[in-house]
Structure 1
Amino acid sequence: MSSPVLAVDFGTSNSAAALLQDGCVRRLRIEGEGETLPTAVFFPERGPMLIGEAATTALIEGEEGRFMRALKSVLGTPLLHESRLIGGKRRTLAEVITAFLAALRERAEAETGLTFQRVLSGRPVHFHSLDVARDAKAEADLRACYHDAGFSDVTFLPEPEAAAFASQGASGETGLIVDIGGGTSDFTLFRRGAAGAEVQASHGIRLGGTDFDHAISLALVMPEMGLGGELKRTLGEGRLPVPRAIYADLSTWALIPFLYTAEVRRQVADLLRHAVEPEKIGRLATVIRDELGHDIAFAVERGKIEANKGTGGAVDLGLVEPGLRIPVSVGQMTAALNAQREGLRAAMYETLMQAGTSPAQVDHVILVGGSSLMRMVRDEVQAVCPTARVSQAEAFTAVVDGLALASEARINA
């Protein structure tokens, strides 16, 4: 009897695991009773690494240590292999991802009583848009992390293709998977035949929920901390614009932990000395001093979710300054995400073009991934495929379901 295959959806924001058992998908409880695990880690100053909800709780409760999220986004980049002081010892982000995957494997084995040496992992169609070499490097990086986590046999399947295998519909129809995750947007055009989903084309771009958060933060939140402001010159007349780099990093989940250095604190202190609006730069100084970057990122995410309901929301920055709340209206969010909307629309058209299919030929669009819950995603889908019916799959588990269904045939191919 062949050894069991673990299906793993290693996501930017959430991860899941499943296996095919007696012909049926069995999702594994890898977070208490939950079937999804936040892709987050926390290294306390003392004690072992925490993952998932425990990592987030440690951050929220103010425990001293290093919180990290959106680890998948650094695959294929030099940052993955840079050694940094994390949790009291020097580590690379590759080692952090390996530790996360090893913990996920251990939880899956504890849940099932099985030993997993083979894994079928989801991957975006493209880790990095329009960069073939970096895309290949990202897959090689992730493969190495799986091997180091204890898997001897590692196979990959594009995430939207997995979701197509798990989708339901009538025979003969043409379907389009729109999978909007935390870090990438992926699309698969398929036709449903007698043997199931027959993939016609797949396409993907490096754009996801963390990019939505990044755009909203830069447009609405960072200006309240000095972005877009001016600095007085030390010598001479005239003014200089406030540099953008710190704000860009502060709005990027994966880069936030690397802002808490003596060098960045010196840079912010210099900005404060020359600020035309010192009260705003003072807020930035508070964020860096008290290491509140992730608190802001979570607040932006919550504000986005509230605004997505259609009644507007707010980013609560009371930790930075008592009573500070930044309203987020539907109109403001729409304006902030205009470039992202255009990117999604172009990517859907590109997928259809690759398949030689017109929008009118698409019968069914299936939305997958946590960020597919954004109203703008459905709006863009309906703009591109106005005659198709649109349905929402299981946002966080459709991919892992499809991976489990494909696992035996794919890994033995």
Structure 2
Amino acid sequence: MSKNKKIAILGGGESGVGTAILALKQGYDVFVSDFGKIKDKYKAELEKLGVSWEEAGHTEAKIMDASVVMKSPGIPDNAALVIKIKEQGIPVISEIEFAAEYTSAKIIGITGSNGKTTITKWIYHILKNSGLNVSMAGNVGDSFAKQVAGNPVDYFVLELSSFQLDGIVDFRPDIAVLANITPDHLDRYNYNLDEYVASKFRITKNQTEDDFFIYDADDEIISKWLKANSVKAQMIPFSLQKKLEMGAYLEDNNIKINLNNTQFIMPNSALALEGKHNIKNAMAASTVSQLLRIRKETIRASMENFQGVEHRLEKVLKINNVMYVNDSKATNTNATYYALESMESETVWIVGGVDKGNVYSELLPLVNEKVKAIICLGVDNSKIFEAFGNCVDTIVETNSMKEAVGMAYKFAERGNTVLLSPACASFDLFENYEDRGRQFKDSVRNL
């Protein structure tokens, strides 16, 4: 087989195996290489496919023989092997870039520092309820490549991280949503916010005048970028702060969306999810639905009966009149800001993990107002002690979820809330944020 049909896949996880499935279907000679261990379920899939693979190290000669390399999103661009591949002139792309070439489906792409999972699932929920042939991929569900290989649909709703967008060349969503931008993953962007912002805006870089770009007009970082740069797509803002001639805004406790000389109106009290951030999430999801000309009745019903996202302000149990809330998906301070803002009672806050360059000062007013005790759950909690040590009477360190929940049970009184909203990544003590959230729920149920 000629070199022009060889693909090397770095990473044997969900996106890597999905790419292997699609690449094989497209006639590529496929080699999967993982520096760590490949999970048994993915090994079994690769074996079934008859794909050549390796783990616990890379055979560079085989990788350098490829015409294209797909890099899983968890591998940084500055990894020595990635730099070497690029120096050889071999394209290094993301799964999203590779898979998009092989589908004619309309693509709705959603990115942002916070809220992108909720918006993605909400859009999918509306489209599904309207009877469209739609699937959801990216950071949620089965990989995009795997679904392109075996699941022909008319619409894809893709949740896209900055890491996935870093590896695109020609990828172009028909509708792009940029929910918000706050400092996150700065450890991957040389602690340079501008690099991270540029990464997020890659979602619109290949869009044309026929495409749509939906964005938060209240977000200062987004507004600043848009003043200095141009976007080809038709721009549709949403806002809680200003009335818009075109776009979505809030007026008299109603969400109003003006598009194509038609108006959609819905009381925000009817939304399935609480909190100001979810009004914005609803605006983004319903704007997409309006562009796709989905019936207003379907949009309203789907806004009201959406179930929300696991590990995102998820009410777990009420014990002794204390509500336990799982917000493990809050892996940065902005997500935690939304969580604390939505608390209506005195709160015992469980926080901590792997800090990605957090600045905690924005949380100080909310912590002063709402938090009665802080329970640190991480290997290094020094920044949390430094930021909040003078705000609360009680701040303690714990080494396991069971211990943290036990402490919270001790500190919480009737009418209080216990909130797990870590503002940090989970990799010091947990496999991922899902594992952290599940351990929280298990520990609460075992009280």
TM-score by length of 2: 0.25
Which structure has greater helix proportion?
Answer: 1
Q: RCO (CA 8 Å, sep 6+): is it higher in 1 or 2?
A: 1
